[in-house]
Structure 1
Amino acid sequence: MPRPRVDVVVLSMNDRPDEETAAQATLLAQSDVDVRVVVVGNGCRPEVVPPGALTVCLPENIGIPGGRNAGVDALRDAGDPADWLYFLDNDAAFPRTDVLARLVAEAERHPDAAWVQPRLTGPDDATTPRRWVPRLRASNPGRPGRVTSMTEGVVLVRRDAFDAVGGWNSRIFLYHEGADLAWRLYAAGWNGWYAASIRMHHPLTTPARHALYHRLAARNRIWIAHRNLPAPLLPLYLGVWTVITLARAARGGGLGETLRGTREGWTTRHTQRRSPMSWRTVYRLTAAGRPPII
């Protein structure tokens, strides 16, 4: 039986060379899979590139979803694209040499899953912040199962499903692009699977370390809701998330930028082309544990 082939997309801004070198070393050590890598320089020429990898040099930073799409396009244009895509943050690491092979095996055991999500932990192989667990009931991150969201920087995706729904939404730039892609994959009849026994490592960082976090997170929640949800669910979803977002900002900082992002989202929401999911998709999301109002 031929070994599975995986096309891996890594983004770089040349801002963490030591972490990138370590991440790529663990990627190249993956066994029982054939890996092809593209390193996308988002507004730069990537400086840390493994031997034989493709490179894409974007003249400006077009955001994480756009950069990942550029990597997928480059792999397709190179010919003979693999059946599997893996999106890898440049500071994430494979703790074992069999991670990719095990993820592909999980995907083959769950043919209705468009993506398979490993459990993301800190470098200690144990600590998993709640925000890294791709479901609402996050108190037990070791429990596998069907999920409706994804952790974008460490995820295996079927290429045919990814291509069929148009890939990442490049307009989002940063934050919540995984929720948008997951909803569109569900709308196309797929679901997601959380392979909690398979781990990936990542530094224990917080998204709020980025200056754009509060504004873009608030704006993008409105954008993805306008793009994907049936009209009756829009006020419910946005009402819940507005309360949650404002409460978090008031407690943890960034209230002004959150209000700015909320205003920007409302005034520009029509730039996102609406393609509301069916009520059957709403039911499937609800049955999988996350109704699209929270």
Structure 2
Amino acid sequence: MKKTTAIIVNWNDKDVISECIQSLLNQDRPEIDIIVSDNGSNDGSIDFIREQFPSVQIIRNGENLGFGSAVNRGLSAAKGDYLIFLNSDLQLDPKCIGILARFLDSDSSVGGAIPKILYHNQRDTINSLGVLINYTGIAYPNLLGQKDPGHLEPFESACGGIFMLRREVYVAVGGFDEDLFLYHEDHDLSWRIRLAGWKLKVNTNAIMYHHYHFNKGIRKLYYSEKNRLHILLKNLNLKTLVIISPALVLIEFSQWIHAAINGWFSLKIKSYFEILSLLPRIYLKRRGLKSLRKIPDSEIIRIYQGTLAVSGIQNPLLTHILSPTLDIYWKLIRNL
């Protein structure tokens, strides 16, 4: 049986991390090591973990490095053949890791497997079945807030942030991009995994429960927008970027309006300067991806969406103008 290492990222999460760790200890699959990669917590959570869960290994990063960088630090101590990365506000069903591991055992073409994520306080309601991504790079949870349909056959998806990977896959694609401090780092890792020829699957028999809170704060919007552009510039070929550029211009224009109305226009402009400062690094990353790339852009983005229907955001301009326009253009270009 292959060994599994779980890496939990903690940042002042004393109130919820106990439940997460205990759910890992309660798994029906033996040989699970648990590592907590701590991003400079000052709420007493580290002392609490040491006292309550002495078998858990703790890596202290000293400051908030973001999710991806914290996972990369945790990997330095990981010994498992399978790696599972998760935030501290999750509770795993006792069979979750075993189901995902056996799924990976059964199909060597699958590089990573993702569980079905339900709301912690509404356990018949979906938080995420993977992630839907519009071809302009905007990502959102699949089936957020809808009733759990029960069993579904595993299906291909971009990852949803909490997933199990083969160790060799994680190492081969270079782990998380540490230039992506918060948000979309899972989207980027997912993209590179599929670029290298592996599949990502959602296995709906594996279940997690999430203490979910929808965040519309401007800090999230800033990081999401900056990282969205970063990922597109890094991972898409120049030809693809040129083809989708009219849609990207439309999205940018709509984001300017949204930013101006909602008080984060200066942060939107700041995101452009951040991207400009990162262009030399992005160029080097693009060169590095040439040796990794086994799958063309057309195959990568075939599961992406033409429409844009972000759960939690109800806007008639989005629903009746922006989304249909993006979809029409997508139908025109997707086979080019």
TM-score (structure 1 length as normaliser): 0.83
CA distance 1:187–1:100, shift in 2 (3 Å): same
3-state DSSP of counterpart to 1:259: helix
Q: What do residues 98-154 of structure 1 show as CA deviations (whole Å, max 9, x unaligned)?
A: 110011112222321111011111012222246x532469458754444341111x2
Pick which of 20-29 and 196-205 moved more. Answer: 196-205
Distance in 1 (CA, whole Å) between partners of 2:243 and 2:266 is 23
Match of 2:258 among 250, 253, 260: 250
User: Is this contact kept in 2: 1:41–1:57, CA < 8 A?
Assistant: yes
Is the 8 Å Cα contact of residues 144 and 193 (structure 1) preserved in structure 2?
Answer: no
- SS of 2:16 mapped into structure 1: helix
In structure 1, which of residues 179, 184, 191 is the aligned counterpart of residue 192 of structure 2? Answer: 184
- Residue 212 of structure 1: how far off its partner (Å): 2.2
Counterpart residue identity of residue 171, structure 1:
D
Counterparts in 2 of 1:238 and 1:118: CA distance versus 1, 3 Å: farther
What letter matches 1:61 in structure 2?
N
1:73 aligns with 2:76: yes
Distance in 2 (alpha carbons) for counterparts of 1:207 and 1:245: 21
Pairwise CA distance, 1:172: 0.6
The residue that corresponds to 1:117 in the other structure is 114
Which residue matches 1:173?
181
Answer yes or no: is the 8 Å Cα contact 1:226–1:269 preserved in 2.
no
Report what 1:21 is aligned to. Answer: 18
Distance 1:202 1:43 in 2: 23
* Conserved? CA contact 2:114–2:200, under 8 Å: yes
Report matched runs for 1:148-167 at 5 Å: 148-152=157-161, 154-167=162-175
1:162 Cα shift?
0.3
- Residue 73 of structure 1: how far off its partner (Å): 1.0
Q: Which residue of 1 aligns with 2:236?
A: 229
CA offset at residue 281 of structure 1? Answer: 2.7
Distance in 1 between the 2:263 and 2:68 partners? 24
Secondary structure at the residue paired with 1:59? coil
2:326 is aligned to none
Q: Which amino acid aligns with 1:274?
A: R
How far did residue 254 of structure 1 move? 5.2
Supply the distance in 1 between the matched residues of 2:251 and 2:106 (Cα, whole angstroms).
Answer: 36
Alpha carbons 1:220, 1:265 under 8 Å: kept: no
Q: Indicate which of 122, 126, 134 corresponds to 2:131.
A: 134
Change (3 A) 1:198 1:265: same
Q: 1:83 aligns with which of 70, 81, 84?
A: 81
Question: How far apart are residue 86 of structure 1 and its match?
Answer: 0.5
Equivalent residue for 1:104, pick from 101, 104, 120? 101
Q: How far apart, CA to CA, are the structure 2 residues paired with 1:120 and 1:242?
A: 34
Tell me the CA shift for residue 242 of structure 1: 6.0
Partner of 1:59: 62
- Aligned equivalent of 2:296: 281
Which residue of the other structure, out of 256, 268, 273, is the alignment partner of 2:277?
A: 268
Partner of 1:193: 201
Listed one character per residue, the Cα deviations across residues 155-180 of structure 1 (whole Å, up to 9, x for unaligned) are 11110000111111011111111111
Q: CA contact under 8 A between 1:215 and 1:259: conserved in structure 2?
A: yes
Q: Provide the secondary structure at the position in 2 that maps to 1:208.
A: coil
RMSD over equivalenced CA pairs, Å: 2.9
Aligned partners of 2:124 and 2:246: how far apart in 1? 34
Work out the percentage of aligned pairs sharing the same amino acid: 19
Find the residue that maps to 1:212 and give its secondary structure.
Answer: helix
**What is the total number of aligned residue pairs between the two structures?**
281
Q: Does 1:47 align with 2:47?
A: yes
> Does structure 2 retain, via aligned residues, the 8 Å contact 1:4–1:33?
no
How far apart, CA to CA, are the structure 2 residues paired with 1:126 and 1:237? 38
Q: 1:280 to 1:88 in 2, by over 3 A?
A: closer
Question: CA contact under 8 A between 1:216 and 1:261: conserved in structure 2?
Answer: no
Compared CA separation, residues 241 and 147, structure 1 to 2 (3 A)? farther
Higher CA-based Rg:
2
d(CA) in 1 for partners of 2:115 and 2:101?
A: 11
- Deviation per residue, 1:192-241 (Å, 9 max, x gap): 011123221112212434x5211111111111111111012224556545
Shift of residue 26, structure 1, vs aligned partner: 0.9
Q: Residue 78 of structure 1 corresponds to which residue in structure 2? A: none
The Cα shift of 1:260 comes to 2.6
Q: What residue is the counterpart of 2:304 in the other structure?
A: 290
- Which runs of 5 or more structure 1 residues have no equivalent in the other structure? 76-80
Is 1:215 the equivalent of 2:215?
Answer: no
Which residue in 1 is equivalent to 2:311? Answer: none
